Structures are given as C-alpha cells and as structure tokens.
Chain A
Amino acid sequence: MEHTPPPFFVRGPAPLVRLAFFASLALTLLVLDARFRYAENLRSVLSLAAYPLQQAARLPVAVVESVTGYFTSQSQLREENEELRARLLASAQGAQRYEAAAAEVSHLRRLIGAAERSERKSMPAEILYTGRDPFSRKVILDRGTQHGARAGSPVVDEVGVIGQLTRAHAFVSEVTLLTDKDQAVPVQVVRNGLRAIAFGGGASGMLELRYMAANADLENGDRLVTSGIDGTYPPGLPVASVVRVERDASYTFARVLAQPSAGVERGRYALVLSSEARLPPYPEEAAERKSAKKARPRKKDADGS
C-alpha cells in the first residue's frame, strides 16, 4: 500500500528544484539580454511597473525642496535675481555674437556647398536618481518616449556633454554618463583640431583618450569639444580638458587623461538634445548602392544575351 503524506504537509517541489528552476530562468534572461538584446520589451514593461515607486521615492526630496523654497528669505531671492540678471547680460552678449557667427558660418557653408547644420531641439529633464550599479555610470531621467526622448540622443548640462541617452522607456530613460567604461565620444582638440575618441574611465571619474600616438600634439589644459563627425553629438560642445599626458617610449600610444567639463556626476537637471541629424550615407554603403544599380542592368544584359 502506498503512503502519501496528508495534504497539509505537501509543500510543492523541493527547494533545490525551485532554485534550479528560477536560477535557470534568470540565466536564460541574462543571456537573452546580454547577448541578443531580446528582453527590451520586458524591460519596458517592468520599468513601467517600477515607475510609481520611483516617483514616490522622489516625493520626499521634492517636499524638502518646496519647503526650503517656501522659507527662502527675500534678500536671498534678490541676491539670486541680481546674479541671474548679470549672468543673463553676459550670456546675451555671447548669444548675439553666436547668432552673428552662426549666420556667417551658414553663409560660408552655403558658399562651399556643404550641408547646413540643422538646429537641434532640446528638452529639459530632471535626474531622478543614479542607477544602483557599481559596475556602470548611469542616471535615470524623468523623460521617456511619451515626452519625445529617443535612445541615442546626447544629454548635456549648462556647461557641456554629460552623456548619451541609451535606453528610453515610456516615462523614464537611462543616460549612460561620459565616465562609463563603455561610453565613447568623438572629440576634437580646440587648439589644433586634432581628432580623438574619449572613453570613460569608470570609477576614477576621468576620461581617457585612447589610441593617441606618443608624439600626438596634446598638452595639459587642452580643451576637448565634440567633433560631430559621428552624427550623434552636435559639433562644438565642451567635453573635457586634458589634465595629464604620459608619454612612455616603450608604448606606441600616449596615455592621456582628461577631466570632464560638465558636472557629469553632480547636478540635477539636464538637457536632452534631439539626435535628428541627416548625414549622408557611409561611403561603402553609397558605393554598394551604386554598384548594385550598375550590377542589375548588367545582369539583365547577361540574361538577355
């Protein structure tokens, strides 16, 4: 006769079986996400589920801010107002000069037949929180696809580039900061126009210019701006300034470290620039297309003959 335990002792599958089940499920997801990027839809849904909690977590900060805002004294406000007015005056002058220069540049570009640079739309956003991941440098913004944020857009603050929007969900989006190890920005030295690529330095909070020849013309204090040749970043945004150049004869490349200009790891507000840049297709693609066009009639000829 078979003995079965009474129903109140039945506890489902053994713990080890459950662990194996859930661990393999997690591992499958990991592989799908890391290797094939199939899990983006699931991620959007989950981020939507986490959204109310994220908003709620912001609430205490917002309350503290509004309370301190309520109790700011008049003198403080006046001081700030004066400072802002002075800054406005200073930047108005700069803006006028910029406008004139932009008009001149577009005129010159038209003269030489180059494509005109289109104005980029920008969208202010607030940094909700930093991602709790010691392995990467990411922040979460409070703008998502519902507000028009798109993955790939550059993100700047009032000084310069802070990163790139790498993942856009419905109401929030992730920004990979410049200092992330996997983030690269094409830059240009203001002094001599030398092009380079700046990679994030990870925890050090610095940028690294890799693959610069040991005799490259770089000095401490050189300002780096985006070169714009990738089509993602608009040209001329400040990125970093060089703080250390190490040249070792035993290495082919110099070791160049740069300090980000913008408040990459601080600040609460950022500007998301739209990444609608119409670039001509890459030379190989264009060549392929041309050869394809040529090839087709030739094929017909071959078939016909």
Chain B
Amino acid sequence: MGPDRPQTILLPVRAGTIATSFAGALLLDFLPWPDLALAPDFVALTLAFWCVRQPRLVGLATAWTLGLLVDAGNGVLLGQHALAYSVLAFCAIALSRRILWFENWGQMLHVLLLLEGAQLVSLGVRLATGAEFPGWSLFAGPLAATALWPVVSWLLLMPQRRPIAIDENRPL
C-alpha cells in the first residue's frame, strides 16, 4: 500500500473469513509438530494479521479469548498466552496504520518485532513462576512465523480480492 504502488480496492471482510482463519490457525497449532522450536505460532501470526488489517473488528477481546484457548489446549498456565496475545494485539493495532505503508520486507520486520515481543511476554510470565530459561531457540519460532507473513497475508486477503460481478469482456 505504498504511495507510488498501484492499490487494489478490497471487498469488505466477512466475519466468517476471520473466524475460519482463526479456527485454522488453532488447528495448525494443535498439529503434532516434530520439532517444537521451529514450529511457528500460527494463532499469533493470524492475530497480528487481522489486528493490522482490521483493527476495528479484531481487537483485544478476541486476542484474550484465543490466548485462553491456546493455554488450555497446551496445558500451560492459564492466562500466559492470553496476556501475550493481548499485548501483541495492542501493539499490532497501534502500528496498524504504519505497517501497511511498507513493502513486504518492512512489514515482516515489524511483524518479527511484534511476535518476538509476545514471546518475550510469555517468557517473562514463565520465569516469574519459576521456570528455567529454555534456551535461545525460543526465539526461532517467531522467525519462522515471520517468514510465513507474505504467504499468510496473500492467503487471507484472497476472499476479499474476488470481483463482485464477473465481466466477460474484462481482460483479467
């Protein structure tokens, strides 16, 4: 959405798309991953995406609820992901007007910061409750998730790119 790039006007988003994407992200999170260190947190990524794109529809309440679901599903302390996702959503909404002005790389840099920040909040909670620092590989997951940002944004914007009326004479 840079100043000198052609912009596409997107269809308004449907709530169903958002709900489906979150369900899909939760499902991906619950997959039996062979290597947990590199497994991206899809819920955080999807949440960051919608908070940037639709800050008026997806906000802290959604983030908090999703965080609780992730907490319960993974058997960690209740509230750990809820807190991390709330902070993530807040920062993403605060940055939402800025992020969309950047090209892919600039966006990814911002998203990386957001996701690492959320991971840091999680880490802080666990350290405060007496866990040991599990190693720096903890910050590899957000890296992997950031690498998926262009793919995820292309995929999640697809439903909004469809033309309303199909015109036979139009070249595209």
CB proximity of B67 to chain A, nearest CB, Å: 7
Give chain B residues whose Cβ lies under 8 Å from the Cβ of A61.
31-32
Count contacts between A and B, CB distance < 8 Å.
137
Q: Of A129, A136, A181, which one neighbours B32 at CB under 8 angstroms?
A: A129
Are B78 and A39 within 8 A (Cβ)?
yes
Q: Does B113 interact with chain A (Cβ within 8 Å)?
A: no
Closest to B138 in A: A134
Closest to B73 in A: A50
Are B90 and A56 within 8 A (Cβ)?
no
Are B75 and A140 within 8 A (Cβ)?
yes
Give chain B residues whose Cβ lies under 8 Å from the Cβ of A33.
77-79
Give chain B residues whose Cβ lies under 8 Å from the Cβ of A135.
76, 126, 131-132, 134
Q: Of B77, B79, B93, B135, which one neighbours A203 at CB under 8 angstroms?
A: B135
Are B26 and A203 within 8 A (Cβ)?
no
Main SS of the interface on chain B?
A: helix
CB proximity of B36 to chain A, nearest CB, Å: 6
Task: Mark out the residues of chain A between 173 and 200 whose CB falls within 8 Å of any chain B CB in the assembled complex.
Answer: 174, 181
Give chain B residues whose Cβ lies under 8 Å from the Cβ of A47.
72-73
Are B77 and A134 within 8 A (Cβ)?
no
Give chain A residues whose Cβ lies under 8 Å from the Cβ of B46.
none
Are B78 and A43 within 8 A (Cβ)?
yes
CB proximity of A116 to chain B, nearest CB, Å: 36
Complex: how many Å from CA A128 to CA B75? 13
Give chain B residues whose Cβ lies under 8 Å from the Cβ of A114.
none
CB proximity of A48 to chain B, nearest CB, Å: 9
Task: Mark out the residues of chain B between 58 and 79 whose CB falls within 8 Å of any chain A CB in the assembled complex.
Answer: 59-61, 63-64, 67-79
CB proximity of A47 to chain B, nearest CB, Å: 5
Give chain B residues whose Cβ lies under 8 Å from the Cβ of A101.
none
Give chain A residues whose Cβ lies under 8 Å from the Cβ of B79.
25-30, 33
Are A23 and B36 within 8 A (Cβ)?
no
Closest to A134 in B: B134
The verdict on A132 contacting B93 (CB below 8 Å), with A26-B82, A46-B68 known, is no
Q: Does A269 interact with chain B (Cβ within 8 Å)?
A: no
Q: Does A238 interact with chain B (Cβ within 8 Å)?
A: no
Give chain A residues whose Cβ lies under 8 Å from the Cβ of B31.
57, 60-61, 129
Give chain A residues whose Cβ lies under 8 Å from the Cβ of B94.
15
Are B64 and A22 within 8 A (Cβ)?
yes
Give chain B residues whose Cβ lies under 8 Å from the Cβ of A57.
27-28, 30-32
Q: B: which residues have CB within 8 A of A? A: 23, 26-33, 36-37, 39, 41, 56, 59-61, 63-64, 67-80, 82-83, 86-87, 90, 93-94, 125-126, 129, 131-132, 134-135, 137-138
Question: What are 15 A-B pairs at a CB distance below 8 A?
Answer: A11-B56, A19-B60, A19-B86, A22-B86, A30-B78, A33-B78, A46-B78, A47-B73, A61-B32, A128-B30, A130-B32, A130-B33, A130-B36, A131-B75, A203-B135
